[in-house]
Chains A and B, each alone.
Chain A
């Protein structure tokens, strides 16, 4: 069993970190994982993306054209990658920045205003953590408590911003359960 998740957005949205935290939690859970960033030449304001592979066996090809799920943090990312997602997967849409949904009918769409939730929690900079926890709660790929611990560990050197990120995490989980 192998699951691939593409995280996409623009530079500065914390895409690489969200993806890394998911991979880290899955690794702690005993899975084989790989985190593959795109490092091609990109324009400022263009799409930045990153793929996480979680598997119960040694990971073969780390090059994924058709991921199981997509977490889209801005509109160009949704438009660029929505058709690559495998049928039955989740398309996560940051509705704070994406005023549309996907035309796909063979996937589950999870629509969450992550920027608004993050602002309410204290700072828009925690939007990636809202997206991560909401997606994790919906996809059930990793244990939520473990993931939360991983977030805490990531910010261990900056204890001041831990409460903000914990709040963002909890709000993300909450909205995924009602969405």
Chain B
């Protein structure tokens, strides 16, 4: 298929349709409202359902309902909206239902602002709602990757029966870039007869399915947590995605950065290279599971003097980087937030100070 020029938000909507998603529930919020605008028009054309909830809290439970009934379902929102959905995320994860949540981050905390930010890293990767759970978190660095990750998200959500989050930011949502929609990323929905409340009529057995998150018996609750834990361990083994940039050189500094911020870092690395200074970047594409071993290995290269995490936040992913570097190199941080995006020149200045 030929390339088309599309806004990130619209491309995410189209990718969901191409992945076979027929259910989309949402509540508008800048900077991601175009997803709802796009799908409110496109989904009915495809025989799907778009429904605007009365709030993000309601949307979270509409997602739970559709996921529990075995349907492919997605919602999109931005930071404050995701906070409101976090209760449902905890319930959906406990009940082991697959669903796709997209967070096109804006500046916080509170209502914050509407410009791009990466302030929701902790919320996305460490929980957000209550209890012991994780989302599988994918972080695109542009419109093409947003499309591919949205399509993969449905497959991963069903493989693990766990919600998957696409963690983008306002720039990725608002920017237009050329995109292709790969046919080979669409997968057939898994058979959900064993667990979903998808109706008895077509099933061979008469076993009743129950989708729930309440386990009053302590050993049953402990067991449910062990099942979740085993899934997270499997994700760590099978789903880690990352990109190394300029890492085949004798780099002096290793940058860790993701999403929009990583693109600015890429430009800085190129500019430093033309001055004869080698630096490299490790860009996690999955934020959970985090590329733990890869960060440890890349930091350990003999030429590498320091690691620096560069983010549109006040320092969040850096905690995972520090954890993975295990003290073998100093780990520094630089970040700006609220919609301020560090410039390539600023990053170069920060890196030169480390040499």
Residues of A in contact with B (beta carbons under 8 Å apart):
20, 23-24, 27, 32-37, 39-41, 59-63, 65
Could you show 17 A-B contacts with beta carbons less than 8 Å apart? A23-B5, A27-B3, A27-B178, A34-B175, A36-B174, A37-B174, A37-B175, A39-B115, A60-B263, A60-B264, A60-B266, A61-B264, A61-B266, A62-B171, A62-B260, A63-B171, A65-B343
Do the beta carbons of A39 and B31 come within 8 Å of each other?
yes
> Among B115, B170, B175, B264, which residue has the most Cβ atoms of chain A within 10 A?
B175
Residues of B within 8 A of A20 (CB): 5, 176
Nearest CB on B from A66, distance (A): 10
Known: A61-B267, A63-B341. A35 touches B114 (CB 8 A): no
B residues at A contact (CB < 8 Å): 3, 5, 30-31, 114-115, 170-171, 174-178, 260, 263-264, 266-268, 270, 339, 341, 343-344
Q: Which residues of A contact B270 (CB under 8 A)?
A: 60
Tell which of B3, B174, B266, B343 touches A63, judged by Cβ atoms closer than 8 Å.
Answer: B343
Q: How far is the CA of A61 from the CA of B310 in the complex (A)?
A: 14
Known contacts being A24-B5, A27-B5, A65-B343, is A59 close to B263, with CB within 8 Å? yes
Q: How far is the CA of A20 from the CA of B264 in the complex (A)?
A: 22
Bound-state CA distance A32–B178 (Å) is 8
How close is A153's CB to chain B, nearest CB, in angstroms?
Answer: 11
Given contacts A39-B30, A39-B170, A63-B343, contact A33 B177 (CB under 8 A): yes
Query: B267 to A39, Cβ gap below 8 A?
Result: no
Which chain B residue shows the least CB distance to A58?
B266
Distance to closest chain A CB from B267 (angstroms): 3
> Which of chain B's residues have a CB closer than 8 A to the CB of A37?
174-175
Minimum CB–CB distance from A75 to chain B (whole Å) comes to 26
Complex Cα distance, B264 from A23, in Å, reads 20
Q: In the A-B complex, list the 3 residue pairs whose CB atoms are closest, starting with the nearest.
A: A60-B267, A35-B176, A61-B264
Residue numbers in B under 8 Å from A60 (CB-CB) = 263-264, 266-267, 270, 344
Q: What are the residues of chain A within 8 A of B3 when measuring CB–CB?
A: 27
Expressed in whole angstroms, the minimum distance between the Cβ of B271 and any Cβ of chain A is 9
User: Is B344's CB under 8 angstroms from A61's CB?
Assistant: yes
Nearest CB of A to B283, in Å? 12
Per the bound structure, the CA–CA distance linking A37 and B176 in Å amounts to 9
CB neighbours (8 Å) of A24 from chain B are: 5
Contact residues in A for B268 (Cβ distance below 8 Å): 61
Q: Find the B residue at minimum CB distance from A51.
A: B175
- With a cutoff of 8 Å between Cβ atoms, the chain B residues found around residue A59 in the complex are 177, 263
Chain B residue nearest to A19 (CB atoms) is B176
Contact with A33, one of B5, B260, B341 (Cβ below 8 angstroms): B5
B177, B264, B268, B270: most-surrounded residue (chain A CB, <10 A): B177
Contact partner, A35, options B175, B263, B339, B341, Cβ 8 Å: B175
The CA-CA distance from A23 to B178 in the complex, in Å, is 9
B107 to chain A, nearest CB (A): 11
| Chain B: minimal CB distance from A34 (Å) | 5
Q: Cβ of A62: which chain B residues have Cβ within 8 Å of it?
A: 171, 175, 260, 263
Contact across chains for A36 and B175 when beta carbons are under 8 A apart: yes
Given contact pairs A60-B270, A62-B171, A62-B263, a sample of 18 additional A-B residue pairs in the complex whose CB atoms are under 8 Å apart: A20-B176, A24-B5, A34-B175, A34-B176, A35-B5, A35-B175, A36-B171, A36-B175, A39-B31, A39-B115, A40-B339, A41-B114, A59-B177, A59-B263, A60-B263, A61-B264, A61-B343, A62-B175
Question: Are B175 and A61 in contact (CB-based, < 8 A)?
Answer: no
